[in-house]
Structure 1
Amino acid sequence: MPIPDMEVATQARRVDEEIAKQIRLLCDLQTQRNSCSLISRFPTEILAAIFVCSARDYHSTHFGYPIETAPNWVNVSYVCHHWRNVALNCPTLWSYLFITSPRWTEELLARSKQASLKLRANLENLSGGGRDDRRLRFVRRVMNHIERIQELYLFLPDCFKDHFLSSPAPRLQNLMITVGYHQFSALFNGDTPALRTLELSFCPVSWDSFTLHGLTTLNLRFVPSRSQQNMVEFLATLSRVQDLRHLYLENAFASTAGFLSSTEFRSFQKINLPRLSRLLIVAPLSTVIAFVACVNIPSKTELRLDCDFEDGVSLHDYASLFSVLAQRFSTSTSQALSSPTFRSLVIDLTYRPALTFSPLERDCDSFDLVLRQYWGYNTPLKIRVSWFVSDTRNSLDCILGDISTFVPLMDVQSLHVIKPPVLPAIWRSALGQLQDLRCLKLTSGDLPDLAPMLCLTDLTTSEGAEGQGGRTNRNPDRMLAPALEELELCNISFWKRTKKDKCPVDVQALCDSLATRKGSSGQLTIARCFERMRRGRSVQKKRFNMVGHWKNGRFREVEEHEVT
């Protein structure tokens, strides 16, 4: 006799209920089993801290670009029941906002409860359309909670017209805005009492928009020329920021030559920044002079000064910069506080000559390498000045001759020349001025004929050129750069010696000259250099490295190998 449909349905329901009951029982047993594992016995606070670190690392490298799905760190809430409970009960985990769907935005804001928000939004390439509209909606939705935002990094396009930044931000600590020449009428109505780090790039805003008394880091980059501030007004703003530790000013101010010649400058009351530990200025020479002269910079402060060339600048103007710095950095009484004592010099002849000075020994890195990196490496001062010489005077000896009129070179121990000139006469004059030179580094270009200068006997020509009746004096006791102990060549091209060459410039000639330096010892390092040799109408090229030593009139090659 067939079973009625009603009974079948009832029996199926009882079976389903039993299955559900068993599944719940298995889940409970699995949960109990998981609770016995080591990871489940982690204190909840430690597990939550690990989750937050994962979210913070993702957030710091994401740069605010939109994503199609949730970031990987969200998966911690799907691992197990315990992890999910920890994640959902950690509002800070959900305060690291990312651009995604409106539904996810609402969920993130709800899960973060009242935790301080961290927002990175990259809107640089907005062009209209579906995805761009979604990104704008996301930013507008989050900015409605501006009173909760702690970190705000915005990358905005030229055409950006929104003014959603006009509400007070009492929790804001870190603010970075990169914008393409758009004038904000106001930022946060000046109500930013917790602001500690402010970085503005291409962003012409008024200082009246901020409360800066608690600021510790200020970074201004590429302020549009029409919005660059008056130096006196900016210094007045700095005088109220007594906790400032890091100050970076890159192309933020125009020339202040008029201020330097004014009575206001001569009577200016210096301001104090007692906690300043890092200072970077990239500006016209007159602006650098004005800032350094008007601020009492603590002796512990690391300085990076990059002085752009200005029309009408004279050697006296360059001398003014070094005399302003002399009281902090001069150690030689013979200089009478006219200039700091410099032991390292970099001369870059790639385009317009640029000179980089440092008081440290063997500090041969160019300024670009230390513009941002290497803070805290005990580099108290790094100065780069752009130099202008006419085409007929664009040579190493002329530049050294010019700078020696206001910067004594007798203490220079390290010289790095980028794109070195090749004429022997230039090097004879240059090395003659650097008698305490210990380290010589040449980068990028053809090898100068250093052999006649580095050998024991130096040939000097008395009045008149040697081929025009001049008399050649041989002084066996004179040796240029007598203290030289390190010669480094990097990306330099050699020409291999041939029978037709009257003045060969090759590796062997250089090594032979070093072998004559009796009483002197040192190391030759050749890195990523080229040896060229003519074969008929073609030129063959070999790239190689080499290390060698000279000592007591002998040269010994330690290692040489060809680089593929």
Structure 2
Amino acid sequence: MGSGVIEHCDTTRAHVDKDIAALAESLRGYRSRRISLSYISWLPLEILTTIFTYIVEEDTFKSHTGTPRPNGAPISMIITHVCRHWRQVALECPTLWASLNCVSADCLDMMLERSKKIALVVIYRSPGSLRKCFQQILSQLPRIKFLQLCSYPWDVNRILDCLSSQPAPLLQSFKFSVAGKSNYRVMGSISDAVFQGRAPLLRSVELMECTFSWTSCIFSGLRTLDVRRIGSASYPTLSQLLSTLRRMPELEQLTLGLSSRISEDTELSDRVPLTQLKSIALDACTLRNAVSLFSCLAFPVDVKIALNLAPIGSCLSDLFSAMHKDPDGSGPIIRSMRASLSYHTFGVQFGTSTAFKSKYSWDPHNDDILLSIQFKCSSSTRKPPIIFDMCQMVPHCQIQSLFVTSSLVLRENFWRVGSTDLPELENIQLSGTCNMRSLIAVLQSGGTQSSDMAYPSLHALEFENIDFGCGEAEELQDIAIMRAGHGVGIHELRLVKCRNLVDDRVQFLKEVVTDVDWDGHEEGLVGGSGSGGGCLCHICRDESSGEDYMQALLHSDYDYDPDSDAYSED
């Protein structure tokens, strides 16, 4: 190919590239004009700013609640890349740049500059993202109002040095956790040196896997204190703990992890008054520690209590006496109980409403739940009826609704004890992988008078995720007929994701129960197309495998001895 041809090709290519660039620029201009004609671009600047602020605050809120968005550029930076108009609005709003939510070291200088002198919200929930920039961040300590840090153990002392280098006059909330076990060498303690002893607005402190000086006055006047997984070097004595709480008369939320036994080095004189307390949670706590602490505190009768205990023992009554020092006084009426029973953990909750608004969790945010107790199961606490013992100890207990979720085989004794201890029970909800055979057997029993029947006030049943055994739907129908004849009929029946049910069986139930709510779920039917065919209910499975039903009970994870009621602390 001749040199002239090559030169002509190069020239032509250059002209084409120039035309393409011109078209791209023209297209960019048209896109910009089109965006400027969109409805949102005609919004007043203050409304657009409010929308941007809401987006940034929502992202920050998700980080507070433990559901941060995937790592990436800050939300405020993403906004600036939409169009020129949005970029200009965002750059003129310092509050959009004041949330340092796991911001990388590369973006940090830009965020600090654009936020100007606005108070900062700093959130670093992973030690990796914090390690390269904590000195740069904590140099801004005087303008931080919310500070959440997670550190590697080997960085703790350097971070504490930075936290102690300046006062924190705007700081309102401080959260600090250490990833993994905190026994790496010797870590410094959070004491009066932090924030140079000057954090006058500080109202909330949450510490995890940290050493903590209980004699420090820096955290006086708090409204929220959460100290969990305390290092052995900073485990408090009872007098130290009470002295700390006495300096917090406005305390509203208290959460403590007290896994090791508190040294009771003090005589009980005046109880520590916490008149503003709204909730107290003891996590990974021994029962004796809970009794010791509650015996020394005075708080309102409607305080929400959440306890995550080691295996409970003989002083269960002592715990309730310590929590409810005046059981005959005024207080909220307990109308519902929820039990979650698994092979290793029992959980019991008491609420003031006849319904629970949320799924079971140890530390609920449900305002209706006043008491939540979760405990590990030792060999002597694997008896589900223990949850009914608690009903006799909780003051103002008039339980009308019982919610049971269980993966254990519940024996008839469980439901008989419940019938005796809960005479006003109106509603039973049963869910989980357990079966309903024992409940049906108890409901079938009784004399000729309504007062002799099990659960004489019962009028509503709900079954969720339950295997109906062969003939159990028919037995349930017979129970409804029998109870109706005694004037204690079942008026409501709810069936959700129950297996081995068909429409014909449910239609029979509708003939004797006024309100039957069935979701139409059909699984594990007789003659089904499963791998082996036939019924998949618990009775047929046991028979087909040759396993005796009593043998299944004996292998369930609680003691089968029906005469033993002894509880002992592990």
Cα 1:544–1:203 change in 2 (3 A) is farther
Aligned AA (1:526): L
In structure 2, C-alpha distance between the alignment counterparts of 1:431 and 1:83, rounded to whole Å? 65
Contact 1:548/1:557, CA 8 A, preserved across alignment: no
In structure 1, C-alpha distance between the alignment counterparts of 2:395 and 2:38, rounded to whole Å? 71
In structure 2, C-alpha distance between the alignment counterparts of 1:396 and 1:544, rounded to whole Å? 34
Deviation at 1:84, TM superposition (A): 4.0
Contact 2:426/2:460, CA 8 A, preserved across alignment: yes
Contact 2:337/2:349, CA 8 A, preserved across alignment: yes
Aligned AA (2:520): H
Cα 1:210–1:95 change in 2 (3 A) is farther
1:234 maps to which of 241, 246, 271: 241
In structure 2, C-alpha distance between the alignment counterparts of 1:442 and 1:487, rounded to whole Å? 8
Deviations 1:73-115 (Å, cap 9, x if unpaired)?
3244455655444433333222222555655322222222222
In structure 2, C-alpha distance between the alignment counterparts of 1:69 and 1:209, rounded to whole Å? 39
Specify which structure has the bigger relative contact order, considering alpha-carbon pairs within 8 angstroms and separated by 6 or more residues: 2
1:184 maps to which of 188, 193, 196: 188
1:434 maps to which of 393, 397, 422: 422
Q: Does 1:148 align with 2:146?
A: no
1:109 maps to which of 85, 108, 112: 112
In structure 1, C-alpha distance between the alignment counterparts of 2:512 and 2:54, rounded to whole Å? 61
The aligned residue for residue 170 of structure 1 is 169
In structure 2, C-alpha distance between the alignment counterparts of 1:102 and 1:80, rounded to whole Å? 25
Deviations 1:113-136 (Å, cap 9, x if unpaired)?
222222222443x4xxxxx7xx53
In structure 2, C-alpha distance between the alignment counterparts of 1:450 and 1:549, rounded to whole Å? 20
Deviation at 1:481, TM superposition (A): 1.0
The aligned residue for residue 74 of structure 1 is 77
In structure 1, C-alpha distance between the alignment counterparts of 2:72 and 2:393, rounded to whole Å? 62
In structure 1, C-alpha distance between the alignment counterparts of 2:71 and 2:320, rounded to whole Å? 58
Cα 1:453–1:288 change in 2 (3 A) is same
1:489 maps to which of 460, 463, 469: 463
Deviation at 1:398, TM superposition (A): 6.6
The aligned residue for residue 289 of structure 1 is 291
Q: Does 1:525 align with 2:494?
A: yes
The aligned residue for residue 542 of structure 2 is none
Deviation at 1:287, TM superposition (A): 3.0
The aligned residue for residue 561 of structure 1 is 520
In structure 1, C-alpha distance between the alignment counterparts of 2:86 and 2:386, rounded to whole Å? 71
The aligned residue for residue 336 of structure 1 is none
Cα 1:70–1:424 change in 2 (3 A) is closer
Contact 1:64/1:120, CA 8 A, preserved across alignment: no
The aligned residue for residue 13 of structure 2 is none
The aligned residue for residue 473 of structure 2 is 507
Contact 1:529/1:543, CA 8 A, preserved across alignment: no
In structure 2, C-alpha distance between the alignment counterparts of 1:390 and 1:34, rounded to whole Å? 69
Contact 1:216/1:243, CA 8 A, preserved across alignment: yes
Contact 2:94/2:116, CA 8 A, preserved across alignment: yes
Contact 1:396/1:430, CA 8 A, preserved across alignment: no
Contact 1:94/1:112, CA 8 A, preserved across alignment: yes
Aligned AA (1:384): I
Deviation at 1:359, TM superposition (A): 5.3
1:354 maps to which of 346, 353, 372: 346
Paired residue secondary structure (1:530):
coil
In structure 1, C-alpha distance between the alignment counterparts of 2:232 and 2:446, rounded to whole Å? 53
Contact 1:174/1:198, CA 8 A, preserved across alignment: yes
Aligned AA (1:415): L
Contact 1:97/1:119, CA 8 A, preserved across alignment: yes
Deviations 1:175-220 (Å, cap 9, x if unpaired)?
1112134433443232211212222222222245663344332222
Paired residue secondary structure (1:264):
coil
Paired residue secondary structure (1:492):
coil
Aligned AA (2:171): L
Larger strand percent = 1
In structure 1, C-alpha distance between the alignment counterparts of 2:60 and 2:74, rounded to whole Å? 9
Cα 1:204–1:314 change in 2 (3 A) is same
Deviation at 1:495, TM superposition (A): 2.2
Deviations 1:138-164 (Å, cap 9, x if unpaired)?
222222222222221112223334333
Deviations 1:355-414 (Å, cap 9, x if unpaired)?
625252525689943623223xx44x21426486746x84445764x5577558983322
Deviation at 1:483, TM superposition (A): 0.7
Contact 1:528/1:543, CA 8 A, preserved across alignment: no
Report 1:301-340 matches (<5 A): 301-306=302-307, 308-309=309-310, 313-321=314-322, 323-324=324-325, 326=327
The aligned residue for residue 453 of structure 2 is 479
Deviation at 1:416, TM superposition (A): 2.9
In structure 2, C-alpha distance between the alignment counterparts of 1:149 and 1:349, rounded to whole Å? 45
Contact 2:362/2:374, CA 8 A, preserved across alignment: no
Cα 1:152–1:549 change in 2 (3 A) is farther
The aligned residue for residue 218 of structure 1 is 225
Cα 1:549–1:236 change in 2 (3 A) is farther
Contact 1:428/1:453, CA 8 A, preserved across alignment: yes
Deviation at 1:560, TM superposition (A): 6.1
Contact 2:498/2:522, CA 8 A, preserved across alignment: no
TM-score between both structures, scaled by the size of structure 1: 0.70
Deviation at 1:170, TM superposition (A): 1.9
2:153 maps to which of 151, 155, 158: 158
Contact 2:295/2:323, CA 8 A, preserved across alignment: no
Cα 1:31–1:185 change in 2 (3 A) is same
The aligned residue for residue 254 of structure 2 is 248
Contact 1:546/1:560, CA 8 A, preserved across alignment: no
Task: List alignment gaps of at least 5 residues for structure 2.
Answer: 1-24, 524-570
In structure 2, C-alpha distance between the alignment counterparts of 1:114 and 1:555, rounded to whole Å? 66
The aligned residue for residue 435 of structure 2 is 446
Which of structures 1 and 2 has the bigger CA Rg? 1
Cα 1:545–1:413 change in 2 (3 A) is farther
In structure 1, C-alpha distance between the alignment counterparts of 2:475 and 2:304, rounded to whole Å? 42
Aligned AA (2:109): E
Cα 1:438–1:195 change in 2 (3 A) is same
Aligned AA (1:305): A
In structure 2, C-alpha distance between the alignment counterparts of 1:69 and 1:342, rounded to whole Å? 47
The aligned residue for residue 16 of structure 1 is none
Paired residue secondary structure (1:450):
helix
Percent of counterpart pairs with the same letter? 25
In structure 1, C-alpha distance between the alignment counterparts of 2:317 and 2:73, rounded to whole Å? 61
Cα 1:556–1:233 change in 2 (3 A) is closer
The aligned residue for residue 97 of structure 2 is 94
In structure 1, C-alpha distance between the alignment counterparts of 2:506 and 2:397, rounded to whole Å? 29
In structure 1, C-alpha distance between the alignment counterparts of 2:504 and 2:405, rounded to whole Å? 19
Contact 2:311/2:377, CA 8 A, preserved across alignment: no
Task: List alignment gaps of at least 5 residues for structure 1.
Answer: 1-22, 127-131, 332-340, 460-473, 498-505, 532-541
In structure 1, C-alpha distance between the alignment counterparts of 2:421 and 2:141, rounded to whole Å? 62
In structure 1, C-alpha distance between the alignment counterparts of 2:510 and 2:124, rounded to whole Å? 61
Contact 2:465/2:498, CA 8 A, preserved across alignment: yes
